[in-house]
Amino acid sequence: MPDDPSPAVPPDVGDTDTDWRRVVDASTRWPVIAFVVSAVFWLVAGSLLALIASFKFQFPDWWTHQAWLTFGRIRPAHLNTMIYGWISMAGVGVSAWLWARLLKTKLRGQWMLLLSAALWNLGVLVGTVGILAGYSRAIEWVEMPYVAFALIVPAMLLVVVSFIQTLWERHAQHLYISVWYLGAAILWGPFLVIAILLPIYSGIPEATANWWYAHNILGLWITPPGLAAAYYFIPKVIGRPVHSYHLSYLGFWTLALFYNWAGVHHLVGGPAPQWVVTVSIVFSAMMIIPVIVVAVNHHLTVVGHFEKLKYSPTLRFVVFGAMSYTVVSLQGSLQSFRYWQEVTHFTHYTIAHSHLGVYAFATMIAFGAIYYILPRVTDWEWGSKRLVSLHFWTTGLGIGAYFTALTIGGVIQGFQLLDPDVAFLEIVDDTKPWLVVRSVSGTLMTVGHLVFAYLLAQIVMKSGERPEGPTYFHPVPEGTFAHVGGDGSRSVPASSTNPDAS
């Protein structure tokens, strides 16, 4: 690669090495705050919808007289607010900060991102109200009425423009691996949504397209920002580069090549042509390659530094998420096989798996990223280490219990469904204890979300006294995190690494 002729510090940001990050962070302030605050609003709203849906399994006659509160509407409303409201908007907020830092230039198109946030919020609101009012399109993961997507698609395209503008004006010659994931997601996302909204599907092809879309929106829109964040925050917080940068390229390209084919594994045993299903199973198994690559990279970067998880909120949430990515992806590859799906299809096992992906992986990484980013864009700190800790334990234990209960319950349910001697209502009765655990763990996670929302409000509003230092879980032993002064003074000697740095 040719030597970088450009200066280490871009001319459009500060005069010193210490200034440029703060100038870049300041440029991302309002778009990041807009997307993150909006995302957390939808996280809380979606959590309340989830609790209503979950409690209906314990109290099936609860709120059945109001059509908009029935399970058939509440559940898709929960799903859509979480996918398009929480995790998508959190992903955009985190991505905007990341690509400005990694491209080492001010974020471009800030007003476009603010407009995007407004349209996106309006779209999710219209969509959620539409579902609750009975206008669900009855296509899983795309239940919101068309009018909602008429707002969300332009919102996504505005994000694309902002990214491309920032990329065009970049001062970093090398595109770090995270930029590849972010750029790919930014382009794949709108393409997927537009493709599934085309009025060209019906019957079995519609089902096939549905699951091509639903699987890809998870793997090519939600997953890449999560991996991008993990590839940045794990090395950054620990202070060592990614274990194998060569492998990271392999991981990206194999994800890009293999993931797209795997969606039809949601229709194993269904009326889709069997060769289509078999192709999806083959590529679901091939996905083991990028997953192992990412797991090796992240794990071997952290190994030897696990004690830092005791102190750093960012590292704890992000490592939790990264480990969950490995588990959920390997699980996904295995459960695509016909012999496995014979048992687990149409059971609560599938719900456990999907929550392991969207929550334990993507959501926990989003939390960790937000814990790192918000102090830098607000120039404030998180208000309470105890509340941050409460947030971690409620959400971590919550998803752990959720996944465990529904996995066990789902497998039992699956074997019982295959046994003609077991009456259906007996199977329903046997799932009840696991669904109680689901409600309890969902409540725990919702408590965590409310705590996080409170912490977010505190830091955005800069309430209370200006914090004296970073918010760690525990007092940090001397030397664990070397002090770096705002004027560049440091307690350890500086060493020259790479002028093209972010």
Residues that bind another protein (CB under 8 A): 1-2, 8, 17-18, 21-22, 102, 172, 174, 176-177, 232, 235-242, 245-246, 248-249, 305, 308, 311-312, 314-315, 372, 375-376, 379, 381, 384-385, 467-473, 475-476, 478, 480-490, 492, 494-502
From residue 143, give the alpha-carbon distance in Å to each of 263, 296, 499: 18, 37, 48
Choose among 160, 194, 301: nearest CA to 244: 301
Q: How far is the CB of 476 from another protein (least distance, A)?
A: 6
Output the six-digit token pair for 243. 């274990």
Which DSSP string corresponds to 362-402?
A: IIHHHHHHHHHHHHHHHT---S-HHHHHHHHHHHHHHHHHH
* Closer by beta carbon to another protein, 422 or else 482: 482
In sequence order, what are the residues at sequence separation of 6 or more whose Cβ sits closer than 8 angstroms to the Cβ of residue 292?
none
> Least distance to another protein from the beta carbon of 380, Å?
8
| Rounded-to-integer distance, Cα 113 and Cα 31, Å | 6
| Pick 133 or 461: Cβ nearer another protein | 461
Angle at 87 between CA 82 and CA 91, to 5 degrees: 165
Give the shortest CB-501-to-another protein separation in angstroms. Answer: 3
Handedness of CA 475, 478, 481, 486 (dihedral sign): positive
Give the nearer residue to another protein in terms of CB position, either 87 or 451.
451
Instruction: Round to whole Å and give the CA distance between 217 and 189.
Output: 7
Q: Which one, 41 or 232, has the nearer CB to another protein?
A: 232
**Who's near 335: CB < 8 A, 6+ residues apart?**
341, 344, 349, 353
* Local structure of 490: helix, strand or coil: strand
Which one, 44 or 187, has the nearer CB to another protein? 187
> Quick count: other Cβ atoms within 10 Å of Cβ 381?
17
Q: How far is the CB of 292 from another protein (least distance, A)?
A: 19
Taking the least distance from each CB to another protein, the nearer of 16 and 64 is 16
Residue 268 or residue 374: which is nearer to another protein going by CB? 374
Query: Could you please report the per-residue DSSP string of 62-127?
Result: TT-SSGGGSHHHHHHHHHHIIIIIIIHHHHHHHHHHHHHHHHTSPPS-HHHHHHHHHHHHHHHHHH
When the beta carbons of 61 and 468 are compared against another protein, the nearer one is 468
Least separation in angstroms between CB 308 and another protein: 6
Kindly tell me which of 266 and 376 has the beta carbon lying closer to another protein: 376
Nearest distance from residue 259's CB to another protein, in Å?
17
Shortest spacing between CB 385 and another protein, in angstroms: 4
Classify the C-alpha dihedral 359-135-159-376 as positive or negative.
negative
Structure tokens given for 390:
């409460």
Which tokens is 155 given?
A: 């919102």
Q: Distance between CA atoms of 166 and 102, rounded to whole angstroms?
A: 10
Q: How far is the CB of 88 from another protein (least distance, A)?
A: 25
CB 26 to another protein: min, Å: 12
Q: In the complex with another protein, which residue's Cβ is closer, 421 or 468?
A: 468
Least distance (Å) from another protein to the CB of residue 54? 34
We find the least distance from the C-beta atom of residue 253 to another protein, in angstroms, to be 10
Cβ closest to another protein, residue 157 vs residue 238: 238
Q: What secondary structure letter does DSSP report for 240?
A: S
Extract the tokens encoding 38. 């909006």
> Which residue lies nearer to another protein by CB, 17 or 426?
17
70: buried, middle or exposed (CB in 10 Å: 19+, 13-18, 0-12)? middle
- Identity of residue 475: P
In the bound state with another protein, the residue whose beta carbon lies nearer, of 337 and 473, is 473
Q: What is the token pair recorded at 82?
A: 């979480």
Which helix (H) or strand (E) covers residue 465, if one does?
none
Place of tokens 């395209």: 157
Identify which of 153, 154, 146, 155 has the alpha carbon closest to the alpha carbon of residue 127. 146
Minimum Å gap between C-beta 95 and another protein is 16
CB of 142 within 8 A of CB of 213? Answer: yes
The structure tokens listed for 328 are: 């959920």
CB 257 → another protein: shortest distance, Å? 10
